[in-house]
Every structure is written in structure tokens, then in C-alpha cells.
Structure 1
Amino acid sequence: MRKQAGSIFSMRLFKVALRGILVASVALVSATAASAASSKHAAIVIDANTGKTLFSENADAPRYPASLTKMMTLYLVFEAINGRKITLQTRVPFSARAAAESPTKLGVKAGNSIDVETAIYSLVTRSANDSATALAEMLGGSEQAFARMMTAKARALGMSGTTFKNAHGLPNSDQKSTARDLALLGIALKEHYPREFKYFSTRSFTYGRTRIGNHNRLLGKIEGVDGIKTGYTRASGFNLASSVQSGDRRIVAVVLGGASSSARDNQMAELIKRYLPRASTRGGGQLIARTSETPTLASPVASMLPKRNAPTPDSRPRKGVIVALSEQEVLDAESAQMAQQTVIETEETTMPVMQAYAAPIPAPIRRPKVAVDPINTASTSQRASKSQGGWAVQVASSPSEEEARGMLARTTEKAPTVLASASPFTMQFEKSGTTYYRARFGGFETKTAAWNACDVLKKKKIACYAVQQ
């Protein structure tokens, strides 16, 4: 009996000891994981109206950006679009190298191509590595040359702690950035390219028969979030940059090195909740993300393109300076049309525009075109266009004739089909002692044709109204 009791006692001691070893092991693993997460962690919140840092934790420590890299890839794409080097319809060829990139990817085969807008959508939603490489090769001649262009642009923007080695963010030990630099880049994207920045708020888009959702789960979940980008590699942890706006308050926040996507999202949500109410309501004046005119490094392809990059503004537009249609101008013009004109809303803004209409859009009347190039439109086109008669669609008015012509060119790029037979022109008028220029597309035979064309433009987020000439 004694021998049996001693054996039972020994077994109990062994179990207690084993349990202690297991607990210690779990604690050690947890501590190691926590230490690893801590070594990757960094965060910052910046008031996008004033540039003031509202919160900072390891914000200047070097970190791996992962797919937040694609923010700079897209910055250079937007710059090329605004510099008229490419359009949204430009084809992006996929080399064998681009097609072979690791997932996540769009899956375009080598030798095939997609248009620039599809590539943009694939980067902001699926974070497609193959599209990033294809864009880099198209704009830079090679991904290595494009990475040098990215780094040069980072320096011009004041991102002193950032070096890029590729366009997608897949692991490279020399590709580093900081939370502060990435927040500055987020601000620059919204300040310099507000029209293109709207791509970052895309919830999903359809490629072929596949509907692709955005990796950014805070879109539509946290009020005010309108972008920007997620990222993850094993070395970086879970990263997220967010742009948030509520009324006149605007912030950009970055969280790097999250232990999981949910932990990262929860921290971002907490930062937004805590610091957005503390942001300033006063905007305007000088841009937060100002750029020096550091030349972008040359590449075989870039040498064949226009030499200057798209200039970035020095200050935010002043209230009363009209680039697109003013709200009052739209209201005044549309008030008489409201009872007759129906704007059809669709659940998915990525649906092909023509699918939203039960009947085909009447084609505008074909007339001889006068000064059809909006870039080189001379003031004489104002007088010539008046003789066309019929109906026109107005998309902008501005005190700058160059801005008005630029709006005509950008609108043509976004809606080439519906405007294929329309004639772009500017029309000068005076208001309160200031000269303005209306940007219009003429040559529509009926008001129905003009209204329907305007419906299509509105689906593409272009404010407009129809007017009889």
C-alpha cells in the first residue's frame, strides 16, 4: 500500500511539474510574440489641416512599409496622368516578370494588358503586385528605375526616412519608411491629386466576372474614413494608413506592425475616435505636403515622355475660386430641369455606365468641330462655338482659361464614348468684375441628348448641367 501511495504521489508531482513547464512555455512564446510585435510597431496621427502631430509612437523609426509602398506607386501614376504622359485608357503591358509576381495579384498573363484605370482599381482594392510591377515598368522602363523615381519623389516631398526598392512592397530588406513619412505621403495624395484620391474609397470593383473587394475593412465601417491603404508582410506586420474627414476636421493616421489585421484595425479605430475631435476645423492656405522641384530620375521610357512632371499646387484653392462647377451654379442651372431629369443611381458605382440605362443614349449631332483640342483651345473658339446652336454640357467654370481647358481634357479622357462627337470649347463671361471661363461640350442636337450625356458624367463623379446655346 505504501509503495502504491508513493507512486500516485510521484505521478501527481510529475503532472504539476509538466503543467508548470507548459505554462512557462506559453508565457515565453507570448512574450516573444509581444516583443516581436513591439519591435515592428509604430503609429502617428497628423492633423491634415495644420500639419500638427496629434499622436506619435515610434513615428520616426525605420519600418517595412509592405503594400503601403503602393501609395507612392499610385502617386507617380496620378502625376503622370495629370502631366498628360498617360491617360486612364492607356494600355499597361504585362511582362513575364510582372505576371510572375507573388499573390496578391490580378492574374494577367504575360503579353496581355489592361488599361491604367483597371490597374489603379486593382492596386487600391486587391493590392495587386503584378499590376504594380507592370505600371512601374511602363513608367520607369524597369522596376529598378521606377524605384529610384519613387525615392526621388519621396525626397522631394520631404520623406527623408524612406527608400524604395520596388513598386509593390514585397520583402526587401533595404526598403524602409517611417510612420511619419507615410502619413505625409497620404496627405500629399489627397492635397495634390484630390480627384484621383477618390479611387482609394472604392469598396469593390469588377474585373471580368470577378468582384474584387477592398482589403481596407474600415471603409464603410468607421464614419469619415475615405481611404487609404493596407499592407502586410511577415517582416512588417499588419500596416494601415487611413484618411478621415468629419465636417471641416481632417486627419491622416498610420499604424504599422500590428500583430493581426483585427488588432491593427482596432487600434486605428481607437486613434480616430480619440484624435479626430481634437483636429482643427481651420483649413486653407499653404499645403501641408509641399514639394520641392527635385527632378525625377530619368528612365528609357521617361526620356520619351514630356520632361516636366505635373506641377503640384502651392496652396489649397481659395473659397470662391471655381475650378469645377460651383454648388450654386449647379443648383441654379438644374432647378428648372429637376422635375424632368432623372439621375439613375446604382448600388455599385463600378458597374459599367451603360448598364444603368434602359435605353441607349441618343448620340450627339455630328457637326464640324471647331478647336476640338482642349489643351490648345484658343479664345477664338468661344466666338466660333456660339454659332453651333443646339445644346451643350457645361462641366466647369474657372477664372483660369488654362484650368477650364484642362477640365475639358480630363473629362474627355474619363468619358470618351459619350463625348466622341461633342466639341469642347471655353466661353468667357464677367462676374463681379472678374473674368471667368466656362468649360463646355457643344454639338448636342436635343436637350435629351445633352441631359443623358450629363447623367453619364455624373456617374463618373463629374458635376455638370445641360444648357441651350
Structure 2
Amino acid sequence: METGAMISRFPRLAAALMLALSALALHAPAHADTSRYAAFVVDQNTGVVLHSRQSEATRYPASLTKMMTLYMLFDALESGEIGIQDQIRISAHAANAPPSRLDLAIGSTISVEDAIRALVIRSANDVAVAVGERLGGTETGFATAMTAKARELGLPGTTFRNASGLPNSRQVTTARDMARLAIALQRDFPQHFHYFDETTFVWDGRTYRNHNTLVGRVEGVDGLKTGYIRASGFNVVVSAQRGEHRLIAVVMGGPTAASRDAHAEELLDAAFSTLEQRDDRRLFAALSSPRISPIRQQALIAMDVAALDLAPPTEMGSAQAAPPLRIILADESSELADIVPASRPAAPDAPLLRGAWSVQVGAYNSAAAARERLDRVTPVSPILALAQPAARSVDIGGNRLWRARFESLTADEAAHACAELSARNEPCYTVAPGR
């Protein structure tokens, strides 16, 4: 399915049943300029929109532009048009690009791999221009190709006029389009996505640090890109994975880099909390429902989906007058639950014998039922015998549930154990540290 179609509507049947539309209403960054602010959060695996605020309003991308420059460069690498160790020559036009830059001399060269790191970490405008000239003949020609690729990827609100994101009144995008582009980068070039997770870049004896300080600091964040010009405010596109869920969050028009980052982190924490509560309810439903035949199950799924009357997400109103933090989840049975803020107190930790990952195998109305479930599935995987079984209580919508979890596992152990459980038709999902 094309990225644009994936985000603009709910996935079919099974994915639609997994999660009906969720919506977050959150504070915008303090003193946000509503003419520049926009935000968008989407579950990359399902295409479900978790938060949308002015997400289709026209905004200036600034250095988020370099995400498309990198997409074009990765595409050229995969087609064989250019090699990872090929040298890119610096023209006078490139060398004279305004900061930030590497201060490359006219006639000097930089390898493609170093150019990638310079774009991701340093956000070097001279390198962006040089890449555009190498791939497009001229930067203007490259910008035309970038815009054509944007249409191909389903980015209807995006037009590029340069390769760097330097000010141009006709270079525009939307928060939703930038999320689509982030998904396309990881979907189409997973072999190159590791560059976005790097925190430093050494060039000519100098170490540059990634402008995206969320990488390596906020749980699960492994990219992508920041951007700033005076007309845009502070922008960021973030990719993050916790457990089985991967989210893309976009914040545009932040008044400062710090407030932008804090708001992006708040959006991610709230969205992951929503998905975690959804998983609790889905597991509870799966374990408390009688087994039925696959044919009958598909018929019921079709009836349930038809009854959901799903509507596309709508704008959440003025960013300046956002209500206090409150998260709403519509689960598979269309019952609504108020979810506690992301700052809810954590349950006491069990001793960490091996690692900080867990496998959750159910959610029950009593601790005894949770412990019984843990005892029953322990023999399924030898890994579970090495884990720390725990029944953790949590309040969901005023109702108390006990999560049945095997704790103190490494990420690989959790994934392997859950795969063995799934092969035996036992519901489970992996839980990242701190969740």
C-alpha cells in the first residue's frame, strides 16, 4: 500500500479491528505561534493517526528538506547511479551556501558516506547543494526532481525549491507529508536508516553532534531530523520504537529547540501509553473470550468493523487553546477509556536478573488469575523459566487489571519467547524497558 493511502485511511479489516481511531488533545509548546505550529503522530505499523493538529496546514520545512535530499541519495545508491565511496565535488555555489555547513573549499570533494552523515548530523547546507548538483546537474533541476518524487510518494502539500531547506517562500510542506516521508525513508531504505541513529560525525579533525538531541536520550528514539529557519520556527521529525510499536511524530513551529523537543517527547509518551493500554485490552479480550472457528471469527470481525463507522481524524482545534492532557482510546468493542497521564507512578520494580525487557501474556481482573496464566504458559518456552514472573496492577478507566508479565529479559530473549508463544497460539507482546 502506498504511504499516503496508509496514513489517510484506516488499514483494512484486521488492522482496523486492532485499533479504532485514537485522538490526543495535548498542550502545544508554550507561547507557540499558531501560524507556524503543527503536530502529527502516526503508528507506522498500522497507519493509525494518534494525534493531529493543523497537520495539513502549509508550513516551511527548513532542514527537514534534507530528508528528501537523503531519500534521493539513497535511491541513487540502490540504483547504482552512485557508489557509497564515490567523491562529490564542491562547486562555488555549494561552497558559498550559508551555515550550517562543513566549510568545504571550492574544488574539494567529500565521499557519499561522509555526505550522508554531514546531512543527518551536521545538517550541512554546502553538502546538500553539492549532492543536489551531483544528482540533478543543477540544484534547481534537483529540486524539480525532489518535488516529482514527493508526488510519487503521496506528499501533495510539498514543493521543493532547493536541496537544503534554506529560506524560499515557495518551499513548503505539511506535518502530515513529513510523516509520510519519514515512513518512506525507513520502508524503502532500511539498510541506510542506521545513519539517523548516529549521534556524532567527525570531519577534518572536528566532532559534530547530532542536532536531534532526542536520539539516544528519549527511550526508543532512533532518528530522524531537525530543522530551523526564522520563518518556520523549530521543527523536528522523530522516529521511535518501544516494544512492537513504532511511531512517527512531527512537531513544527516550536518557539525554541528545547520546547519543541519537550513537546515531541510528550506526544510520544502519551501515544505509546495509549497503545499500551490498547494492548492490555486486546489481550484481556483474547484470553477471556471462548475459542471460535476461524470462519466464524472472520464473520464477526467483518460485522464489528462495519459497525465502527470510522471517520478520518480531524484537527484538534487551536494550538493556543488546547485543553489539559487527556488521552482517549476507542478499543475493539468501541468502549472509551480515560488513560492516566504518562507521568503515572510506576509499580515497584522486580530485581533485574538478566535485562529490562518483559513479555506480557495477559491482563486479568485478579492477581490470582494473572499468576495462574504465568504458571500455565511457563513451560511453552525455556526462556520463560529464566525470567521473573510478575502480576502488575494497573488502573484503566477506573477498573483495576493485573498484567501477567515475564520480566528481567533481554530484548532478544523477549522477542524469541513471544515468538514461541505465538506459534502455540498464546497471545503475548514484548514490553520495552520502563513501560
TM-score, length-scaled by structure 1:
0.52
Runs of 5+ consecutive residues of structure 2 not aligned to the other structure: 1-29, 283-435
Structure 1 stretches lacking a partner, 5+ long: 1-32, 283-469
Letter in 2 for 1:162: T
Deviations 1:193-228 (A, max 9, x none): 011111011100211210111001111110100000
Match of 1:141 in 2: 137
Q: Residues 255-334 of structure 1: matches in 2 within 5 Å?
A: 255-279=251-275
Alignment equivalent of 1:161, drawn from 153, 157, 163: 157
Residue of structure 2 equivalent to 1:176: 172
Q: Supply the AA of the counterpart residue of 1:95.
A: S
- Name the residue aligned to 2:217: 221
1:38 counterpart SS class: coil
Task: Measure how far apart 1:165 and its partner are.
Answer: 0.3
The structure, 1 or 2, with the larger RCO (C-alpha pairs under 8 Å, 6+ apart) is 2
Q: Distance in 2 between matches of 1:209 and 1:138?
A: 25
State how far apart, in whole Å, the 2-side matches of 1:268 and 1:161 are. 22
RMSD (CA atoms): 1.4
Find 1:101's aligned residue among 77, 80, 97: 97
Aligned-partner Cα distance in 2 for 1:72–1:64: 14
Q: Who is 2:205 aligned against?
A: 209
Which residue of 1 is the match for residue 76 of structure 2?
A: 80
Deviations 1:16-49 (A, max 9, x none): xxxxxxxxxxxxxxxxx947x1210000001100
Partner of 1:233: 229
Amino acid at match of 1:87: G
Report the 3-state secondary structure (helix = DSSP H, G, I; strand = E; otherwise coil) of the residue aligned with 1:73: helix
**What's the CA shift for 1:278?**
3.0
Q: Show the counterpart of 1:131.
A: 127
Partner SS for 2:238: strand
Report the more deviating stretch, 207-216 or 272-281: 272-281
The more displaced of 270-279 and 187-196 is: 270-279
Amino acid corresponding to residue 139 of structure 2 in structure 1: E
Q: Tell me, yes or no, if structure 1 residue 46 matches structure 2 residue 42.
A: yes
SS in 1 for 2:94: helix
What secondary structure does 2:88 align onto?
Answer: strand
Query: Structure 2 CA distance, aligned partners of 1:88 and 1:170?
Result: 26
Task: State the match for 1:200 in structure 2.
Answer: 196
State which structure, 1 or 2, has the greater radius of gyration over its C-alpha atoms: 1
Counterpart for residue 287 of structure 2: none
AA paired with 1:206?
Answer: V
Deviation at 1:52, TM superposition (A): 1.1
Aligned equivalent of 1:92: 88
User: % of aligned pairs identical?
Assistant: 50
Instruction: Pick the aligned partner of 1:118 from 108, 114, 119.
Output: 114
- C-alpha distance in structure 1 between counterparts of 2:167 and 2:70, whole Å: 19
The aligned length equals 249
The answer for the alignment partner of 1:441 in structure 2 is none
Deviation at 1:247, TM superposition (A): 1.6
CA contact 2:122–2:201 (8 Å) conserved in 1: no
Letter in 1 for 2:131: L
Amino acid at match of 2:86: T
* 3-state SS of 2:102 partner: coil
Write the distance in 2 (CA, Å) between the matches of 1:97 and 1:88. Answer: 23
